[in-house]
Structure 1
Amino acid sequence: MTSTAKIYGLILAGGKSMRMGTDKGRIAYHGIPQREHLYRLLEGVCDKTFMSIRKEQVAEISSTFNTIVDEDIFKGPFNGILSAHKKYPNVAWLVLACDLPLIDEKSLRDLIAARKRNAYATAYSLRENSLPEPLAAIWEPKGLKAAISYMEAGTNGSCPRKFLINNDTHLVYPTDQQVLMNANSELEYWEALTKLT
């Protein structure tokens, strides 16, 4: 069955940023906190946009942003993704991690244009490894429903990439592979800054 679901945007901003040593969502690569920058990008291409956050972050997020508080039912990134799915189960979610400083509106539009609605997800990937990037992907409602069963089974770990590898995922290769650069450490932060100048 082909999905006719709308696309909602989701910024995963609830991580603890242990390797970076500071909240990755608050780093201002583009003059404003990264979580706000990505939110604005998704606002331009999605039907509605949300920021996925922890309970203790609620007070620090302006009410001008739609938020979904993690329900803490699942581990890892699935915590935010499936909390959003539970709130709006009939939409597809364009999910972005807040550690993608080089992602841009063109790459988001390209991903949406390549969307395969009857797959579990449409995910960006690098040609060198052809592994799905679950946090730069459009997750369809049926894929998220299957992910809940996957997580509840408790035998496969909590890795969204592993789930996508073993299920019907449509891979898309970005025109500029740099847009998928993750900045998870101080060294990668400085590397990202050099690429942005």
Structure 2
Amino acid sequence: MKTKSESSASNPPQLFGLVLAGGSSLRMGHDKGVLAYHGMPQRDYVYQLLNKVCENVFLGIQEQQLGSIPKEFSSIMDQNKYKGPFNGVMSAHETYPEAAWLVLACDLPFMDAEALQFLVQQRDPTKHATAFMGKNAVYPEPLACIWEPEGLRQAKAYLSASEKQSPSQFLLEVGVKTVLPSNEQLLFNANSVEDYQWAKDHLKGREGS
């Protein structure tokens, strides 16, 4: 008889994609999902990226965003049971509990299809998650990460038993497969207006060359 780990390795859970597009950012002063780095709202761009590597893709949104989402995009509304990024991730898990989720935030403007394909190739479904982690990073990156269903079940128990609400801390504590990105810039996090302008200028130069 196969162990649970062996079964996961030979028949991994289906992979769904989740765009974390949950509304306004205080530091940015705008909804990060509607900022344009690639000639379209970033949430649309990330949705298209995930569509290349996942069976189904969803936008994780707040209720007040519902009217602004294009009809061709599937969405999952945040259930607001948890704080921070776990809110969107766990809302997706509770909607489709048997799926693995490739979670991608809207504030990683340099992330591309090649990097996501590499992450999927490196996926280890016997681990709780497979996450990008920069060379000098302290934590795995929870918002550029494949979360396995068992990992999310463990996260739910962790959230119930702990006051901590940090997905980065959870990944560090449970142990996950980490993947070094081919370029550290892939994990650049645009959190401010200055970050946005810097990233946009660099992408314009790269895509225009």
TM-score range, shorter chain: over 0.9
For residues 21 and 125 of structure 1, the distance between their equivalents in structure 2, rounded to whole angstroms, comes to 27
Quick check: which has more Rg, 1 or 2? 2
Matches within 5 A, 1:77-116: 77-116=85-124
Q: Deviations 1:10-64 (Å, cap 9, x if unpaired)?
A: 0000043110011110001001100000000100110110000001100110110
- Equivalence for 1:188: 195
Report the TM-score when normalising by structure 1. 0.97
- State the AA in 2 paired with 1:54: Q
For residues 18 and 53 of structure 1, the distance between their equivalents in structure 2, rounded to whole angstroms, comes to 16
Q: Is the 8 A contact 2:139 2:169 kept in 1?
A: no
Q: 1:35 aligns with which of 19, 22, 43?
A: 43
For residues 94 and 85 of structure 2, the distance between their equivalents in structure 1, rounded to whole angstroms, comes to 14
- Equivalence for 1:177: 184
For residues 190 and 84 of structure 2, the distance between their equivalents in structure 1, rounded to whole angstroms, comes to 17
- Equivalence for 2:172: 165
Segments of 5+ residues of structure 2 without an aligned counterpart are: none
What is the RMSD computed on CA atoms of the aligned residues? 0.9
Distance 1:113 1:130, change over 3 A: farther
For residues 99 and 43 of structure 2, the distance between their equivalents in structure 1, rounded to whole angstroms, comes to 21
For residues 137 and 90 of structure 2, the distance between their equivalents in structure 1, rounded to whole angstroms, comes to 26
For residues 181 and 121 of structure 2, the distance between their equivalents in structure 1, rounded to whole angstroms, comes to 12
2:142 pairs with 1:134 = yes
- Equivalence for 1:57: 65
Report the TM-score when normalising by structure 2. 0.91
Residue 161 of structure 1 aligns to a residue whose secondary structure is helix
Q: Is the 8 A contact 1:130 1:171 kept in 2?
A: no
For residues 130 and 36 of structure 1, the distance between their equivalents in structure 2, rounded to whole angstroms, comes to 30
Total equivalences in the alignment: 196
Q: Deviations 1:166-193 (Å, cap 9, x if unpaired)?
A: 0121100011111111101011111111
For residues 74 and 19 of structure 1, the distance between their equivalents in structure 2, rounded to whole angstroms, comes to 21
Residue 168 of structure 2 aligns to a residue whose secondary structure is helix
- Equivalence for 2:18: 10
Q: Is the 8 A contact 1:132 1:161 kept in 2?
A: yes
For residues 29 and 110 of structure 1, the distance between their equivalents in structure 2, rounded to whole angstroms, comes to 22
Residue 65 of structure 1 aligns to a residue whose secondary structure is coil
Higher helix content, 1 or 2? 2
Q: Which moved more, 1:146-155 or 1:70-79?
A: 146-155
Q: 1:22 aligns with which of 9, 13, 30?
A: 30
- Equivalence for 2:54: 46
2:43 pairs with 1:66 = no
- State the AA in 2 paired with 1:108: L
Q: CA shift at 1:131, angstroms?
A: 2.0
Residue 146 of structure 1 aligns to a residue whose secondary structure is helix
Segments of 5+ residues of structure 1 without an aligned counterpart are: none
Q: CA shift at 1:130, angstroms?
A: 4.9
- State the AA in 1 paired with 2:56: K
For residues 187 and 119 of structure 2, the distance between their equivalents in structure 1, rounded to whole angstroms, comes to 12
Report % sequence identity: 45
For residues 131 and 148 of structure 1, the distance between their equivalents in structure 2, rounded to whole angstroms, comes to 19
